[in-house]
Amino acid sequence: MINQKKTQIRKDIKELKKQFSLDLKKQKSEKIFSQLEKLDVFLQANTVMLYWSMNDEVFTHDFILKWHPEKKIILPSVKGAELELKVFEGIEKLSPGESFGIGEPTGEVFSNQNEIDLIIVPGVAFDKQNNRLGRGKAYYDKLLKTTQAEKIGICFDFQLLDAVPVDEYDVKMDLVISNLEK
């Protein structure tokens, strides 16, 4: 039953995303990151894990390029059923990943997870209790269970629901930010 609900939400959100152009998603993304940049947890973080966004996600490219000269930016790379973490060393050192074809760093594996101060987490949907619904592969949940870093989910306004179904494998966020100004 819970898996059917998750599948239906994923399907509904996928359809909603199609209604917004990439330019509009970029505008919404700017509002999200302007909120994030004001948070003490971000300002004080030295090492931040983000993700190189796909066209249907909160657009991270500009934000990563803006902050990587000042902060160590870690990006995930899909290897089989796990996420490998790598340091972002510039756009020219990204190559298409094996699972989603999105840009992934090509350098050495970053193994000191304790160094990560903040993780910016994508999701299909979030709820007002800071629960997250991912794409269903549990890549992030496996990683998030092993870290003490602050976890902030980011999403568009239409991805922030009253409630999302959760099970024992789902990891709650410390905060969720959407493009709706608070």
Mean pLDDT of the region 18-37 = 95
Q: What is the pLDDT of residue 42?
A: 97
Sign of the alpha-carbon dihedral angle for 33, 35, 36, 37: positive
Model's pTM, two decimal places? 0.92
Closest CA to 86 of 52, 137, 42, 43: 52
Q: Which domains does the chain have, with CATH numbers?
A: 2-177 (3.40.50.10420)
Which runs of consecutive H residues, i.e. helices, occur in 54-165? 61-67, 139-144
Tokens 């993700």, residue located: 51
Q: How are strands ordered across the β-sheet holding 175-177?
A: 82-87, 72-79, 47-49, 118-121, 150-154, 175-177
Under a CB-based contact definition with an 8 Å cutoff, are residues 23 and 15 in contact?
A: no
Q: What is the pLDDT of residue 182?
A: 57
Is the pLDDT reported for residue 111 higher than 80?
Answer: yes
